Amino acid sequence: MTGIGKTTIAQSIFNQISPYFEYNYFLNNIGTVWERNGGQVSLQEKFLFDIRKGTKRVLLVLENVDKLEQLNALCGSRKWFAPGSKIIITTRDRHLLKEHGVDHIYRVKELDKSESLDLLNCSAFSQTTRPPEDFVDLSRQRVAYSRGWPLALKALGRFLHGKKVLEWKGILSSIEKFSIPDPRLLNALEKSFSDLSDNEKQIFLDIAYFFIGMNQNDVLQTLNKSTQYAALQISMARYITKRQSSNLPDQPKIYDVYFLSFRGVDNRSKFISHLYSSLQNSAIFAFRDDDELQRGEHISIALLRAIGQSRISIVVFSTNYANSRWCMLELEKIMEIGRTRGLVVVPVFYEVDPSEVRHQNSQFGKGFDDLISKISVDESTKSNWRREIFDICGISGFTLIDSRDSSTDVIGYSGRLPLALEVLGSYLSDCEITEWQKVLDKLKCIPDFQVQEKLKVSFKGLKDYMEKQIFLDIACFFIGVDKKDVIQILNGCGFFADIGIKVLLERALVTVDKGNKLRMHDLLRDMGRQIVFEESPSDPENCSRLWHREEVFDILSNQKGTEAVKGLALEFPREDCLETKAFKKMNKLRLLRLAGVQLKGDYKYLSRDLRWLYWHGFPESYAPAKFQQRSLVAFELKYI
């Protein structure tokens, strides 16, 4: 396995025993050097002239061998070496060692928990002792994630080095289920994978997606049964798998998001066709089982692959769904992979009541009973199918019944304003049909001319406190600022900004232009600022964010600031001068944007919680010694 520590161990052994040999050679990265023009000759010239004298003991390390011809050329015969010589070979291919007839083969084992923790601490904290108290649990979580793999531990350690606890949590929570933060890990893994034949690659993908933990004999039997469809499987696998990095042209693909399970006779030409087209239009590649694969008594491995290689599976229940043996087999496998491999399962109830599906009654239940009566299944299978139907109905999903009338009502109550329609539509996309009526009731109570109030429905629909705070920060301070910079700043404030901004984009509350700058419609910006204003209409110093020039100038001039202020922006001519003491009571201030502002006094009065400081027209040519802001994540001081 790449990155397990083969080269490190070989180098350590070489350093320890090389003094006991007359000739010592450590040939690095043979696999790569061999492919260069003249690579074979250059490697041979390094030592073959000396060793073929056969009179002196030689220590030879051949690192990263990947072809048998390399071993034949560099250590082809024992007669080349004097008695007592030692040859150490590192390779990812155990088969090469067996074929060459080496004396001993050692598999490098993964690090245990204690060793893993030491290596992570060394990379992340530059120490092998116990990590700082705040990081103990996080370090243990990362050790478990890395499974004793040295390369992953070192990469994670370097990635997290110098970051604070909140940043660790934000970064670690953002790592997607199968993502690896350091590109070198992907490159290293790609080397091992690319050495496999096409057939071996397919077997590897099968095991990685849904055979881990299964009995070896069962897996062999399943894969052997599929040999008759080998050509189909290989071509299909190439088609359905997607590249994770454009820099790795041969890496296998997977379905972007969705596997669609549905009853064709009920909705192929209706809901499914619209859903499938929408996914394609959004550049989301989905697999739709549309009777394209050969069907039989058992679910095919090709279809099993499609389910296992999807990140999300959408199960569309309709009146006759349970009347299909194939649909029930699909559902059984989807739920199994969901439990064992983390597949996200989303139920959609299309023109059928969820309670009818869950309890298998009414027309849906009749369809299930009809299926059981006309096919031969044992009691265990029948019981399992009932349980899977019951369990999936406990997952949050979507109900599509009589939604057309509700859509028409939303259009009417939004005043047909395009922005309001876009924002409300994005919000309602996450709501069940029962929640639509509540939104409609709110819209009915708001006059047509109060556009902001209509837009505010979507803001209030944000379920996470941090998402609301991120929206308000952008509305007041970050319009036109690079998205990447804003994420870094707000993550430093303890927000999971990468996730929060993604939600705001999905809700159409913010946009990103071609230059990666955050943008917001003027109406949405004004709505956000109105929300802040309403926090304390008569006493603006008690608002969380301040940006209105006259109000900010009055608060700073009269030193009326309070700890309620989290962000402040001020722009005015350079002749105006304020005192730093005006910030003394703003000890919770985390965002500060100044332009053309002169401050006199001690900078110690600036909040120690400050995470972002932008000061255009900074009065000093350099930051004074007393300017101590150790919590800053980003700052820009422009001296004029």
Check for a shared fold between 196-401 and 465-531: no
The secondary structure element, H or E, covering residue 260 is strand 258-261
254 CB contacts (<8 Å, ≥6 apart)? 240, 241, 242, 309, 310, 311
Q: Say what the pLDDT of residue 298 is.
A: 47
- Between CA 596 and CA 574 the distance in angstroms is 5
Neighbours of 213 (CB within 10 A): 8
Which residue reads 């009347």 in tokens?
323
Q: Say what the pLDDT of residue 54 is.
A: 63
Neighbours of 619 (CB within 10 A): 14
| Domain coordinates in residue numbering, the chain | 6-100, 113-185, 196-401, 403-460, 465-531, 537-639
Q: Say what the pLDDT of residue 481 is.
A: 92
DSSP labels, 42-54: HHHHTTHHHHTT-
- Between CA 408 and CA 406 the distance in angstroms is 5
Interstrand relation of 511-512 and 518-519 (parallel, antiparallel or unpaired): antiparallel
436, 541 Cβ separation under 8 angstroms: no
Helix axes 418-428, 451-460, angle to 10 degrees: 20
Q: Say what the pLDDT of residue 585 is.
A: 92
Q: Say what the pLDDT of residue 419 is.
A: 45
The residues of the chain scoring below 50 in pLDDT are: 1, 176-184, 225-257, 267-269, 291-299, 402-422, 443-444, 446-450
* 444 token code pair: 């009915």
CA atoms within 13 A on the CB side of 53: 10
Q: Torsion over CA of 224, 229, 235 and 239, rounded to 10 degrees?
A: -90
CATH number listed for the domain at residues 465-531: 1.10.10
Q: Torsion over CA of 369, 371, 373 and 376, rounded to 10 degrees?
A: -130
Q: Say what the pLDDT of residue 475 is.
A: 92
Q: What is the amino acid identity at position 244?
A: Q
Neighbours of 407 (CB within 10 A): 12
CA distances 449 to 268, 413, 416, 424, 453, Å, are 42, 11, 12, 16, 9
Q: Say what the pLDDT of residue 472 is.
A: 95
Q: Say what the pLDDT of residue 30 is.
A: 85
- Between CA 105 and CA 322 the distance in angstroms is 55
Model pTM above 0.75: no
Q: Say what the pLDDT of residue 591 is.
A: 94
Short-list 66, 23, 29, CA closest to 48: 23
CATH superfamily of the domain spanning 196-401: Toll/interleukin-1 receptor homology (TIR) domain (3.40.50.10140)
* 504 token code pair: 């705001």
Neighbours of 476 (CB within 10 A): 23
